[in-house]
């Protein structure tokens, strides 16, 4: 009986975590460069059931009678790294990345004393003339240095070369990885490597293309996410009803089973 409590509760907890993940996806449906998360739900290992009894001579013996599942859990949420649609904004500070190779490329930004990576190319110029993300993180060039500009009247070619008033300023730092699933998501649409080691620079000839005046749209499909959210909610409710049924059975067992009628 208690095993049923744990099994139903694990299902509720897994669906609650999936609901939180889907809610976060929907909250970022309009966030440039956002990669939707997908849930990986797995079952706990099966348990082997055996019946132990004594034979006619009084010696203990066991017989395998089957297996039983012990619940599920949400193992992890995995970003879905696919190319988002391009949306024109006509803002000079907006830059969109397009993957040309099999891996994934990112803008390199500075977060404290660490290098982080993002697909959100909705940039701005702060009061000090630094090219930054909307959250205020400085965008880095190919050498890991901050990029300083005099105004928003600059141009960026497909390879990330920045020119202002006809003069070369810097080349954007674009990092590449063949295994984006190994990156760890952080706040403000940033990613980092697990060991903190920097990603290699992308090959500007084959790995990417930058388009100025555009942003990469979020990969969240709002209608699909809403459908999955309702499915997760119904699964949560189903497990909740099972848990309530076990609770009523336990209450009946405690209060009625074994009662001695006077």
Task: Specify whether the CB–CB gap between 158 and 96 falls below 8 A.
Answer: no
Q: Angle at Cα 176 formed by Cα 91 and Cα 36, nearest 5°? A: 65
Gap between the Cα atoms of 17 and 48, Å rounded: 28
Longest dimension (CA), the chain: 102
pLDDT of residue 259: 64
Phi/psi for 241 (5° steps) reads: -65, -40
pLDDT of residue 7: 82
Helix (H), strand (E) at residue 53? strand 47-54
Using CA atoms, how far apart are residues 91 and 78, in angstroms rounded to an integer? 31
* CA torsion through residues 63, 65, 66, 68, sign: negative
Q: Which of 101, 99, 133 is nearest to 118 (CA)?
A: 133
Q: Are 22 and 58 in contact (CB under 8 A)?
A: no
Per-residue pLDDT of the chain (262 residues; tens, 9 = 90+): 567 777 888 888 899 999 999 999 999 999 999 999 998 887 776 766 777 777 677 777 777 777 766 778 787 888 999 999 999 998 999 999 999 876 799 999 999 889 999 999 999 999 999 999 999 999 999 999 999 999 999 999 999 999 999 999 999 999 999 999 999 999 888 999 998 889 999 987 788 999 999 999 999 999 999 999 999 999 999 989 988 888 888 777 777 765 655 5
SS3 44: coil
User: Which has the closest alpha carbon to 180: 78, 50, 261, 255?
Assistant: 78
- Give the integer Cα–Cα distance in Å for 110 and 93: 17
């Amino acid at each position: 009986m208690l095993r049923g409590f744990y099994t139903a509760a694990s299902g509720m907890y897994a669906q609650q975590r999936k609901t939180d993940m889907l809610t976060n996806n929907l909250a970022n449906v309009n966030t440039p460069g956002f990669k939707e998360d997908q849930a990986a739900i797995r079952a706990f290992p099966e348990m082997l059931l055996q019946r132990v009894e004594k034979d006619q001579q009084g010696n203990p013996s066991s017989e395998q009678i089957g297996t039983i599942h012990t619940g599920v859990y949400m193992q992890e949420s995995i970003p879905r790294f696919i190319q988002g649609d391009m949306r024109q904004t006509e803002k000079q500070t907006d830059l969109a990345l397009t993957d040309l190779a099999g891996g994934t490329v990112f803008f390199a930004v500075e977060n404290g004393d660490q290098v982080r990576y993002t697909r959100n190319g909705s940039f701005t110029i702060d009061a000090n003339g630094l090219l930054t993300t909307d959250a205020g993180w400085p965008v880095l060039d190919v050498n890991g240095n901050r990029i300083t500009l005099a105004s928003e009247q600059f141009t960026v070619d497909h390879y990330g070369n920045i020119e202002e008033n006809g003069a070369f300023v810097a080349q954007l730092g674009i990092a590449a990885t063949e295994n984006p699933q190994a990156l760890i998501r952080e706040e403000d649409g940033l990613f980092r490597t697990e060991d903190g080691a920097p990603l290699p620079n992308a090959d500007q000839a084959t790995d990417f293309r930058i388009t100025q005046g555009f942003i990469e749209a979020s990969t969240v499909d709002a209608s699909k996410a809403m459908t999955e959210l309702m499915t997760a909610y119904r699964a949560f409710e189903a497990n909740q009803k099972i848990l309530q049924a076990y609770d009523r059975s336990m209450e009946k067992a405690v209060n009625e089973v074994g009662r001695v009628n006077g």
